[in-house]
Amino acid sequence: MSLIDRPRIAFIGLGVMGRSMALNLLRAGYPLDVHTRSRAKAEPVLAAGASWAERPADCLREAAICISIVGFPAEVRQVYLGSEGILASARPGSLLIDMSTSEPALAVEIAAAARARGLAALDAPVSGGDVGAREGTLSIMVGGEAADFARARPIFEVLGRTLVLQGPAGSGQHAKMCNQIAIAGTMIGVFEALTYAHAVGLDPETLLASIGAGAAGSWTLTNLYPRVLRGDFGPGFFAEHFLKDLRIARAEAQQRQLRLPGLALAESLYQTLIERGGAQLGTQAIYQVLSEPDA
């Protein structure tokens, strides 16, 4: 696809992940109209060439494709299904791609409402954190129709390295729940290991050289463990958003009468972190709960 062929994109949500994703699309030559709740968060994207829209609906005036990545299901619902939302404002034939992590049933509802209006919708949550968003190496899990996935693929190739159509609408969100369940257990294991290392007098960096190269190796160990060693608890992914994801996963599991004790433990630990004021910290701040259980 030549630069002249790149469709105009409406991009809604410029948080930790969305900002880097929008910048990558601009670098790839896609014209962007952007909206986020705080214009200050949009400044780096505007400086790179994007156009500002005062409302989500204003983004859709010329765009053929809309990408959203917002925090909570209530925001997704408002952005898509509100009286001045995306579905009410999009041009016929537009492709709508929600890259938020949200409820699978909501993704199904949005897809059905989109079809009824002559639109196409994909749920396409991502994994890879702030690093993957900056480097364009995200894993993108997609629910929807194969033809719509093919249409979105050139855009996904700018944003990610692993692009998989998981199944019909809602399947991307279900895949993301599996991703978050796996991360939750890994997060506990990695930072319990660090807590143990401190307690027995091991040097944590020397330890990483061994266990990072063995069967314990993981994205969390490679990327988040070193942040904790530096005392960096800033968000690559907000703890409050991760707790939201775990709660969605637990609700889905309960509907199916699944017993997932690791998920329940992780939810409890992240709830404790947030009760201590850690909502805006990164997910690695669970170390604070594990290493100081009575704080």
Can 244 be counted among the known catalytic residues? no
Residue tagged active-site, from 6, 19, 176, 244: 176
Instruction: Check if the beta carbon of residue 162 is closer than 8 Å to that of residue 140.
Output: yes
Residues with catalytic function: 176
